[in-house]
Amino acid sequence: MKPIFRGGLPRLSFLLLVILALGLLVSDYRGDSVRPVRSALSVLLTPIQWLVDIPTNIADDISMVLLERTVLIKDNNQLRSTSIILERKVQQMIVLRAENVRLRELLNASEKIDDKVLLTELIGVNPDPFQHQVILDKGSEDGVFVGQPVLDAGGIMGQVVEVSLYTNRTMLVTDGRHAIPVEVVRNGMRAIALGNGSHGELDVTHVPDNADIREGDVLVTSALGGRFPYGYPLAKVVYVQRDPSRKFMLVRAVPLARLNNSRYVLMVGEKPQQKNTDKASLQSPGALGEGL
Amino acid sequence: MSQHSPGGIMIVLGTFIVAFMLSQTPLPIILEWWRPEFVALFVIYWMMALPQRFGVGSAWVLGLMLDVIKGSVLGINALALTVIAFSTLLMHKKMRMYPLWQQAIVVFFLIVLNQFIFYWFQAIAGTIAGDFTFLIPAFVSALIWPWVFVVLRSIRRTFKIS
């Protein structure tokens, strides 16, 4: 913070700085050209991110220490019972998975069922109310990539939009700029769920007037965009309105993930490396057939 | 006190780190529009108190840091803080004479300017709800200004930053 400009009114430097800021703004908004600058700066500023997290951590620790014994016992019992229920499901899962793999082999489908999973902790929330973003404590060092799906125990939370060395920024599904292809579990009807910028609400758009969708339907990812894996729950339909004066139905859904209070979240999927293979397969027609 | 002590710079920088922390601490969703624009307030104070040391260039750099921390489009905070810093510089002599409540009114309009810069950009980017909630931070900032002013002034006097 040196006094760069001395004496008089720095009109010229003001003008220059405004132009510089506008230039940055436009180039960041239009394309990827300033992304390296941003990731370099964000590595430099990572300590501040950690500093910010300190008060929350201390509060967490204190409340841990002060927890009552009875509460702990109650929690413990509850966790034990859910764990038993889950274990029972897992037992079934083993058989089902084996069966599924066999069936897929019969169908010649090569889709993997198990996804690679990375457990991450949420270290910050973007305070800007215009953006629904959270900051997670895994970065490119841990193999996180832009576009990686993020989910919690309830369902899909969002996707990574920015990666620096040790942290990443994840856009939640309720952000006004987010869209995700989904299907209705009950009948497989496809749709697209858009964030509308308000918390805890998604718009399901372009649903034809005669489509079979009801309140209470669960929407899962359809993997059509090629970004989210298939079959993770996203939201539950809470409001359906058929209005004859509109072309499409008005459908609202509530995300199943606890977007506001999950502290531990999962990142799934591996970095896609299809760029080279895509080129290769395009060059040789034989490989193209296999690729399809 | 010697001309410019290097310690003073560190203290000013320290206040800004606190401002960044304040602007990043999680708030409940109901309160998310009620967060004062701390970094802008601090820029206004230091611009008013030490215009010979704290310049629009510093405001720009701080704005860029804030952009990265908040994850907003690179340059938007830099732009807003530069504009605020320059406007403060234009009237810092008058502002020093004002009583606190009158300063708070000026601060209100400066933050309104800040919020409008954001709002305009969001409108261009097409992700906006069309009401006036975005002006709430200006009110809150104006309300909290007297405290910011008193605290920062006592810091400035304690460490004799000039």
pLDDT tens digit sequence for B135-159? 888 899 999 999 999 999 999 888 8
Query: Structure tokens of A177?
Result: 């700029």
More confident residue, B72 or A237: A237
- Answer yes or no: are the C-beta atoms of A264 and A119 closer than 8 Å: yes
Chain B: give the shortest CA distance to residue A161, in Å. 10
Q: What is the ipTM of this complex?
A: 0.80
| Exposed / middle / buried, residue B42 (Cβ in 10 Å: 0-12, 13-18, 19+) | buried
- Answer yes or no: are the C-beta atoms of B159 and B11 closer than 8 Å: yes
Domain B6-158 maps to which CATH number in 3.40.50, 1.20.1070, 1.10.1760, 1.10.3470? 1.10.1760
Least confident interval from A34-43, A154-163, B44-53: A34-43
What pLDDT score was predicted for residue A106?
Answer: 72
Question: In Å, how far are B18, B82, B151 from B113, measured between CA atoms?
Answer: 23, 11, 24
Question: In Å, how far are A148, A150, A232, A271, B102 from A117, measured between CA atoms?
Answer: 11, 10, 13, 12, 56
Among candidates B63, B90, B127 on the partner chain, residue whose Cβ is nearest the Cβ of A177 = B127
- Answer yes or no: are the C-beta atoms of B143 and B109 closer than 8 Å: no
Query: What span, in angstroms and rounded, lies between the C-alpha atoms of A143 and A273?
Result: 12
Domain boundaries, given as residue ranges, for chain A: 117-266
Q: For residue range A20-37, what is the model confidence (pLDDT) as tens digits?
A: 888 888 888 777 777 788
| Exposed / middle / buried, residue A120 (Cβ in 10 Å: 0-12, 13-18, 19+) | buried
Question: Which of B50, B21, B82 lies closest to A17 in space, CA to CA?
Answer: B82
| A8 has a pLDDT exceeding 60 | yes
- Answer yes or no: are the C-beta atoms of A18 and B82 closer than 8 Å: yes
Confirm or reject CATH 2.40.10.340 for domain A117-266, answering yes or no.
yes
Distance from the Cα of residue B75 to its chain's centroid: 15
CB contact under 8 A, A125 and B26: yes
The secondary element (H helix, E strand) that includes residue A267 is strand A264-268
Q: How many CB atoms lie within 10 A of CB A292?
A: 6
Q: What average pLDDT does the structure give for chain A?
A: 80
What pLDDT score was predicted for residue A280?
Answer: 40
What pLDDT score was predicted for residue A104?
Answer: 77
Query: What span, in angstroms and rounded, lies between the C-alpha atoms of A176 and B52?
Result: 43
What pLDDT score was predicted for residue A285?
Answer: 41
Chain B: give the shortest CA distance to residue A30, in Å. 10
Query: What span, in angstroms and rounded, lies between the C-alpha atoms of A184 and A220?
Result: 6
Chain A: give the shortest CA distance to residue B14, in Å. 11
In 3-state terms, what secondary structure has residue A185?
Answer: coil
Alpha helices in B52-99, H assignment, sequence order: 56-70, 76-97
Q: For residue range A232-250, what is the model confidence (pLDDT) as tens digits?
A: 889 999 999 888 888 888 8
| A59 has a pLDDT exceeding 80 | no
Query: What span, in angstroms and rounded, lies between the C-alpha atoms of B145 and B38?
Result: 9
- Answer yes or no: are the C-beta atoms of A252 and A193 closer than 8 Å: no
Among candidates A6, A37, A198 on the partner chain, residue whose Cβ is nearest the Cβ of B52 = A6
Least confident interval from B6-10, B92-96, B99-103: B6-10
What pLDDT score was predicted for residue A108?
Answer: 63
| A7 has a pLDDT exceeding 80 | no
What pLDDT score was predicted for residue A88?
Answer: 86
What pLDDT score was predicted for residue B79?
Answer: 92
Residue in B10, B16, B50, B68 to test binding to A, most A beta-carbons within 10 Å: B68
| A287 has a pLDDT exceeding 60 | no
Which residues, at least 6 apart from A252, have a Cβ–Cβ distance to it below 8 Å?
A: A201, A202, A203, A204, A237, A238, A239, A240
| B108 has a pLDDT exceeding 90 | yes
| B53 has a pLDDT exceeding 50 | yes
